[in-house]
Chains A and B, each alone.
Chain A
Amino acid sequence: MAASKKSGGHREMLESMYSVIALVFILVACVELCDAAAVVDVYRLIQYDMSGSPFGSRLASLNHHGASLHFPPGADLSRTVLIIPLRELNITFVREYIDQKKPLGGLLFLLPEVFKSENGGNKQIHEIEKLKSMLAELEKLLIHSNIPYPVYFAFENDDIDTVLADIKKNDAIGQPATATTGGYKLVIPTPEPNKVASPTITNIQGWLSGLKADGEANQLPTIAIVASYDTFGAAPALSVGSDSNGSGIVALLEIARLFSLLYSNPKTRGRYNLLFGLTSGGPYNYNGTQKWLRSFDHRLRESIDYAICLNSIGSWDNELWIHVSKPPENAYIKQIFEGFSNVADELDVKVGLKHKKINISNPRVAWEHEQFSRLRVTAATLSELSVAPEMLEGTGGLSDSRQFVNETAIIRGVKLVAESLARHIYGHQGKNVEIFADGSSLAVSPAYVRSWLDLLSRTPRVAPFLSKNDPFIMALKKELADHTDEVNVQNEVLEGLFTFYDSTSARLEIYQVASVTFDLLLLLVLGSYLIVLFSLLVITTRGLDDLISLFRRPPSRKVKTA
């Protein structure tokens, strides 16, 4: 009994040993090798469906040889990734490839470091402007096409530059990279992109209540300041939208900060409630704004005196536009415009008024204030853009980086809005009173503006890829909570025509590979080496006859067995 137990224990131990050994072998076999020539962070072109029709890059995983633009004419590129630096980009070439649906293994666009969010260098501005317009054109092309292969963006660095130089050299010789000639292999091991299940949009609202006189029964009027905070661009992981609408968010937060200072003291507390709204879903016809307004109490909606929407106020020189949906003759519009233009005159900037009627039957909502206007709330959008952007354009894509945003423009914008609001609230219309004077305790803080602008310029904010509890949303909420009495977060499902797919960023591994031909040749050489070695050894140790008999023996044996 005891002996059998003992042997059983022994067996058990042996079995566990085997499993340990097997585990070790599996571990050894699974050692993932990352000895690539270069590893680069890459950002995938957005993949989405709009009312069922596919757009963007439809594939994510990549395992092809690389080629440069100098590929030999007539080469088969269906298993090749074209690496195109933005500086050498020929937009008509790309357009031709996409429109004619020519087969390609993939596309990799290299963006100059200038567009990197952390980068603050200012090189030749003329060249950068040229690159920016080119990038904007490329982005527009890519967003609106259906591309059946992976498309990635990466930033130029030394590693990838050396690889590209090498590839160019090979292409110049006329040696296209294929399995038989070696070259560089570009590998992105990502799984098939999945649909983003029920993307949420999160609206954040802050409430700063005004001073109610004792015994006053009526509700105080409310002024709303609204900015849409999410972005949309060719590469969701790079869509930081410094100008659209990072500048608007910064301005809103700074205005909230200034008025919280005023409202914290009962003496300077205005007789207006202030409502701050950071809305999501901006690129999708201001879907979030619509949901936010619908959620309002009827009385609250009635009490809104007017709403100011801030949109792209970060790179203007001298002129801002107030976009409205009601005719300029309207008394409220007139009042708003006069308030703004008075302050603008003092600040030595120009403010223009643009009227664009809304068409209820058209689903396109070009400006955020149009959502207010549809619900008969007086509203206006302050923007540097004179014309409404098209759908999915001017929504903070690739080319909208920190580089092109001017802090002083934002500061002037903040001052313009805050000053005209304050004059309206405290009844100083037409008077020349400077409340937020430079140097006073109520001055616009450039440090605050800069730090928020820098943060926003580092944070991609494409709504479907921002979760409800994203640190960025939490940060916005906390910041607004610091400056207002009450903060509410509203989570809604982004409904409508859009479906999004994940895997927005990945790591690209570039390997220098040997060709199959080389390996075959090597095998041949090694085989002959071993045969020669064998023959030499046999001859020197046993003699030539032995070697010959070695090859003779088997047939004679066969004869015997037969």
Chain B
Amino acid sequence: MTMFHFFNCAILTFGPHAVYYSATPLSEYDTLGTSIKAALVYLGTALVKLVCLATFLKVSDNEAFDPYQELLKALIGFIDVAGLYFALTQLTHRNISQNHKFQAVGLGWAFADSVLHKLAPLWVGARGLEFTWDYILQGLEANANLVLSISLAALGSLMWLRKNKPKTLIPIIYLCAGIVATMPSITSIMHTVFVLHSH
């Protein structure tokens, strides 16, 4: 029964990535290589991010809200954007079209994120007898993350790869990219506020 629950949660966490790959033309044009490269870039980025977080961030014992620390966290979050930039502009794989490239990169990015952040807790936690909603919520989060990654990659490809952009759209694109890139910080702030209010 517990294995069953683990299986369910794994489907929820990793299923959409596979469905996305097989349902869209990505599978027809064999863009798996790009996705894998993007995942590797994600790994590198995550490492850099970890080092930065460990170097610059103080470990606070009390979970008080510190604006300066939050700002730092958001700034470190922009390393992700740098990684995506690298993946979108420097990776060339069989000259796939821009349209497929950002999807493949976003997909690889999101999948690597899910594997890195969700697989181990799932394996350790969801097989236990004790039932919690945590792992189902975590699966839903992975879904949201997929959407987020692909949209960020799409915005990035609009910014950096497309040559003839309509002038009026440029600020909107940058604004959207900024919002999407700071999404983790925004959610964490909202979470803190919500928790503070509920207590």
Q: Which A residues are within 8 Å of any B CB, using their own CB?
A: 28, 31, 33, 35-37, 179, 182, 185, 187, 509, 511-514, 516, 519, 522-523, 526-527, 530, 533-535, 537-538, 541-542
Contact = CB atoms under 8 A, between A and B. Distances in A.
A33 B127 CA distance: 8
Interface in B110-142: 123-125, 127-131, 136
B169 interface: no
A519 B5 CA distance: 6
B128 A511 contact: yes
A522 B136 contact: yes
Contact of B23 (A31, A33, A537): A537
Contacts of A31: 124
Contact of A511 (B15, B22, B123, B129): B129
Given A35-B125, A533-B16, A519 B23 contact: no
Contacts of A35: 125, 128, 130
Contact of A37 (B19, B22, B127, B130): B130
Contacts of A179: 1
Contacts of A185: 129
A511 B19 CA distance: 34
B15 A526 contact: yes
Nearest to B11: A526
Given A31-B124, A516-B1, A526 B129 contact: no
Contacts of A33: 124-125, 127-130
Given A33-B125, A36-B129, A182-B131, A541 B25 contact: yes
17 contacts: A28-B123, A33-B128, A36-B129, A187-B129, A511-B128, A511-B129, A513-B129, A513-B131, A516-B1, A519-B1, A519-B8, A522-B136, A526-B15, A530-B16, A533-B20, A534-B19, A542-B24
Contacts of B15: 526, 530
A560 B122 CA distance: 45
Contact of A530 (B4, B7, B11, B127): B11
Contacts of B81: none
Contacts of B125: 33, 35
Given A33-B129, A530-B16, A533-B23, 17 more contacts: A28-B123, A33-B128, A35-B125, A36-B130, A511-B128, A511-B130, A512-B131, A513-B130, A514-B131, A519-B4, A523-B7, A526-B8, A534-B22, A534-B23, A541-B23, A541-B24, A542-B24
A522 B124 CA distance: 20
A28 B127 CA distance: 12
B12 interface: yes
Interface string B6-18: 0110011001100
A37 B128 CA distance: 11
A538 B124 contact: no
Main secondary structure of the interface of B (DSSP, over half): helix
Nearest to A537: B23
Contacts of A509: 129
Contacts, number: 72
B153 to A, nearest CB: 16
B35 to A, nearest CB: 16
Contacts of A541: 23-25
Nearest to B103: A541
Nearest to A532: B19
A28 B119 CA distance: 12
A29 to B, nearest CB: 8
A182 B132 CA distance: 12
A187 B104 CA distance: 47
Contacts of A530: 11, 15-16, 19
A542 B11 CA distance: 25
Nearest to A34: B128
Nearest to B129: A511
A334 B188 CA distance: 88
A179 B2 CA distance: 12
A38 to B, nearest CB: 10
A36 B129 CA distance: 8
A512 B22 CA distance: 38
Contacts of A519: 1, 4-5, 8
Contacts of B19: 530, 533-534, 537
Contacts of B25: 541-542
Which 3 A-B pairs rank lowest in CB-CB distance, beginning with the nearest? A537-B23, A514-B131, A511-B129
A225 B128 CA distance: 57
Contacts of B7: 523
Contacts of B129: 33, 36, 185, 187, 509, 511, 513
B133 to A, nearest CB: 10
Given A533-B19, A533-B23, A541-B24, A522 B8 contact: yes
Contacts of B131: 182, 511-514
A124 B119 CA distance: 54
Contacts of A537: 19-20, 23-24
A538 B136 contact: no
Contacts of B24: 537-538, 541-542
Residue among B1, B130, B136 with most chain A CB within 10 A: B130
Contacts of B5: 514, 519, 522
Nearest to B28: A542
A516 B1 CA distance: 7
A509 B128 CA distance: 12
Interface in B12-46: 12, 15-16, 19-20, 22-25
A185 B1 CA distance: 13
Residue among B11, B22, B127 with most chain A CB within 10 A: B11
A521 to B, nearest CB: 10
A179 to B, nearest CB: 8
